[in-house]
């Protein structure tokens, strides 16, 4: 508790945020007892730890951009799968989420990092024509590669007999759906985001895309309409059959 000099207890208002035993008197010399000091330090420790973490994170991204971006991308992509499972209802399938995380770590995160660096080296700068050229290359080359790898990779990890079946049935619908989203994401990415953060930004925006993509791989057909059909059936109490 605080040791106060020259003040009656009636002049000791409580100090907000501290222990009830801690009192203060304006203009009086105050000595903070050891147990009160430890309490204040304990309150400050989590804030200091969080602040130091936020300061260390950008440094890690600059010093180790590849693993930092890949891990962020994989975490956000996996969270998208977990979200779509939640929306579909039923128990969580953590094996499926691990498959998505495995594919994101082994291929998609690394591919996006290398691909975005390659685009920047081939088409450097942020001039309007350069940005549009990057977006065009991304949608005609990078996007189809990443999408094909997802459907084929997930089929391999799931042990399906025909690993190209989902690709043949859902690629074109999914690609057209992606054209309504990714050009705008990458337009912002190439014009505003620093190079060492672009894969992480793609993963952040890919969280919503992963939710849609994992749903399409599990239950949909690659179209946005399939989500609304499923949601209407769910509201009506009629569960759509799993594919």
pTM (2 d.p.)? 0.70
Report pLDDT for 206. 84
Of 224, 223, 216, the C-alpha closest to 88 is 216
221 pLDDT higher than 60: yes
Report pLDDT for 16. 45
pLDDT in tens, 158-196: 999 999 999 999 999 999 999 999 999 999 999 998 887
Q: Give me 71's structure tokens.
A: 């891990």
What is the three-state SS of 188-240? HHHHHCCHHHHHHHHHHHHHHHHHHHHHHHHCCCCCHHHHHHHHHHHHCCCCC
In sequence order, the 6+-apart residues with CB closer than 8 A to the CB of 65 are 113, 196
CA pair distance 195, 210, nearest whole angstrom: 22
In sequence order, the 6+-apart residues with CB closer than 8 A to the CB of 24 are 2, 4, 12, 13, 15, 30
pLDDT in tens, 67-101: 877 888 888 889 989 998 888 877 888 999 999 99
Q: Of 47 and 170, which is predicted with more confidence?
A: 170
CA pair distance 38, 112, nearest whole angstrom: 47
């Amino acid at each position: 508790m605080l040791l106060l000099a020259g003040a009656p207890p009636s002049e000791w208002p409580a100090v907000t945020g501290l222990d009830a035993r801690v009192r203060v008197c304006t203009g009086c010399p105050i000595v903070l007892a050891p147990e009160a000091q430890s309490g204040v330090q304990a309150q400050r420790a989590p804030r200091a730890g969080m602040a130091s973490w936020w300061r260390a994170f950008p440094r890690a991204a600059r010093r180790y951009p590849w693993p930092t971006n890949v891990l962020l991308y994989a975490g956000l992509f996996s969270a998208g799968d977990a979200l779509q499972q939640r929306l579909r209802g039923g128990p969580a399938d953590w094996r499926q989420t691990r498959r998505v995380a495995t594919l994101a770590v082994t291929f998609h995160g690394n591919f996006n990092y290398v691909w975005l660096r390659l685009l920047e080296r081939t088409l450097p700068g942020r001039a309007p024509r350069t940005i549009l050229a990057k977006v065009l290359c991304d949608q005609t080359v990078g996007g189809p590669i990443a999408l094909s790898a997802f459907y084929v990779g997930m089929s391999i990890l799931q042990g399906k007999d025909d690993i190209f079946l989902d690709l043949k049935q859902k690629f074109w619908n999914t690609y057209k759906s992606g054209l309504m989203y990714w050009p705008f994401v990458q337009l912002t990415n190439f014009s505003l985001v620093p190079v060492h953060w672009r894969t992480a930004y793609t993963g952040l925006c890919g969280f919503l895309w992963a939710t849609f993509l994992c749903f399409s791989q599990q239950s949909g057909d690659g179209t946005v309409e399939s989500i609304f059909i499923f949601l209407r059936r769910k509201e009506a109490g009629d569960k759509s059959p799993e594919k």
